[in-house]
């Protein structure tokens, strides 16, 4: 079986615009209206819709790509795995688009007919008619331990469709971009006479090809799409206590909507980089703290750092290695810092220290 990229004749790195363009061209070629009664063309038309159904949806495309990678790695029999954050849906969405394959030609035309432009009449009204919300976008983000636990801002670069600023997402410029011939309806009605009887025929407008927009006023920046592909930098706020594999949902930072539709959301899959000193258990932070021998035996204070700064850790007399001392409220969101005592021998001894340790040893015997 051909993969969906091969079906559409595009590279696996193709942009959404390239995919749409390729689908449009091929779907027009194999359109049932152009190939009446041709079962092979209809099959091909359905196959194209299946490919487009998957590749035009960022979420489905990502899952499909993962599936392809998996197939390449482990051959047939590979089962789609869940993505980060467990949002994947094994058994839910079929990676090879069974849902589109079972679509009828009518269903395909209803869903995707809009992108054929004026060539097939009716369908075009759906493309510019009701507004459509933008797709949700996703990004994986590595965050250092400190930012994740204490909260902070991380700047990420996102690419995807954003509303065209030249035309404010309308796809057209000027106060009245309506097509002068059809006055924006996208259709023209003509009177015909057949066998002595008059009747009216409604056709897609020949001037605007059914879009309803004056072709001379189509926005030059976005070619009338209302959106453009763009890479932008976005500051993401990481809330205090964000855990590894958490998913943050940022409203309105996904793909731009069309026809004034709301933008989609951005889902950020967070991976927290481990820290060499601290580790987290719930809202508690754990770390090892070196304590000199005499302080451990006699009690005292030793300096250490929590995530919030420098503190003096109180060591009770007779503390052993491995003892856990709790600093209340020094963890995350009111959690504690748990210091594990690591008693340290002096790396070298002065003659006086040696004398004292010898004496101590004798007393232990």
How many degrees, rounded to 5, is the angle at CA 126 between CA 13 and CA 162?
A: 40
Is the CA virtual torsion 352, 355, 356, 357 positive or negative? Answer: positive
Longest CA–CA separation in the chain, Å = 128
In whole angstroms, the minimum distance from the beta carbon of 14 to Zn ion comes to: 22
End-to-end Cα separation, the chain, in angstroms: 81
- Cβ atoms < 10 Å from Cβ of 24: 17
Determine contact, residues 304/327, Cβ cutoff 8 Å. no
In whole angstroms, the minimum distance from the beta carbon of 191 to Zn ion comes to: 18
Q: Which is nearer to Zn ion, 208 or 291 (CB)?
A: 208
Angle, to 10 degrees, between the axis of helix 16-29 and the axis of helix 39-55?
A: 170
Residues that bind Zn ion (CB under 5 A): 164, 166-167, 179, 181-182, 205, 207-208, 219, 221-222
Q: Which is nearer to Zn ion, 146 or 166 (CB)?
A: 166
Backbone angles phi, psi at 120, to 5 degrees: -125, 50
Q: Which is nearer to Zn ion, 93 or 166 (CB)?
A: 166
Q: Which is nearer to Zn ion, 169 or 335 (CB)?
A: 169
Q: Name the DSSP class of 35.
A: S
In whole angstroms, the minimum distance from the beta carbon of 208 to Zn ion comes to: 3
Q: Which is nearer to Zn ion, 181 or 279 (CB)?
A: 181
Q: Which is nearer to Zn ion, 4 or 217 (CB)?
A: 217
Q: Is 210 left (phi over 0), alpha (psi -120 to 50) or beta?
A: left
3-class secondary structure, 129: coil
In whole angstroms, the minimum distance from the beta carbon of 19 to Zn ion comes to: 20
- What does R_g of the chain's alpha carbons equal in angstroms? 33
In whole angstroms, the minimum distance from the beta carbon of 233 to Zn ion comes to: 22
Q: Which is nearer to Zn ion, 93 or 187 (CB)?
A: 187
In whole angstroms, the minimum distance from the beta carbon of 184 to Zn ion comes to: 7
In whole angstroms, the minimum distance from the beta carbon of 98 to Zn ion comes to: 36
Tokens of 338: 């748990």
């Amino acid at each position: 079986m051909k993969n969906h990229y091969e079906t559409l004749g595009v590279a696996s790195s193709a942009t959404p615009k390239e995919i749409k363009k390729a689908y449009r061209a091929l779907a027009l070629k194999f359109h049932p209206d152009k190939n009446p009664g041709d079962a092979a063309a209809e099959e091909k038309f359905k196959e194209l819709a299946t490919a487009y159904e998957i590749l035009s949806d960022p979420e489905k495309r990502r899952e499909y790509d993962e599936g392809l990678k998996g197939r390449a790695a482990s051959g047939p029999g590979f089962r789609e795995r869940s993505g980060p954050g467990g949002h994947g849906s094994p058994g839910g969405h079929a990676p090879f688009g069974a849902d589109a394959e079972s679509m009828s030609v009518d269903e395909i035309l209803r869903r995707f007919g809009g992108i054929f432009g004026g060539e097939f009449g009716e369908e075009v009204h759906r493309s510019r008619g009701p507004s459509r919300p933008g797709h949700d976008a996703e990004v994986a983000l590595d965050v250092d331990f400190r930012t994740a636990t204490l909260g902070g801002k991380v700047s990420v670069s996102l690419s995807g469709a954003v509303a065209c600023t030249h035309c404010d997402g309308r796809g057209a410029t000027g106060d009245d971009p309506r097509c002068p011939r059809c006055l924006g309806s996208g259709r023209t009605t003509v009177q015909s006479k057949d066998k002595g009887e008059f009747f009216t025929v409604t056709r897609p407008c020949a001037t605007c090809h059914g879009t309803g927009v004056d072709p001379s006023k189509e926005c030059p920046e976005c070619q009338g799409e209302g959106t453009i592909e763009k890479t932008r930098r976005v500051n993401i706020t990481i809330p205090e206590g964000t855990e590894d594999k958490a998913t943050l949902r940022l409203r309105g930072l996904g793909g731009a909507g069309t026809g004034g539709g709301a933008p989609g959301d951005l889902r950020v899959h967070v991976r927290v980089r481990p820290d060499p000193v601290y580790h987290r258990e719930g809202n508690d932070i754990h770390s090892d703290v070196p304590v000199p021998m005499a302080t451990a035996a006699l009690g005292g204070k030793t300096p250490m750092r929590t995530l919030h700064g420098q503190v003096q850790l109180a060591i009770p007399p007779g503390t052993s290695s491995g003892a856990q001392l709790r600093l209340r409220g020094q963890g995350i969101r009111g959690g504690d810092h748990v210091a594990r005592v690591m008693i340290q021998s002096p790396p070298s001894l002065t003659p006086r220290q040696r004398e004292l340790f010898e004496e101590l040893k004798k007393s232990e015997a």
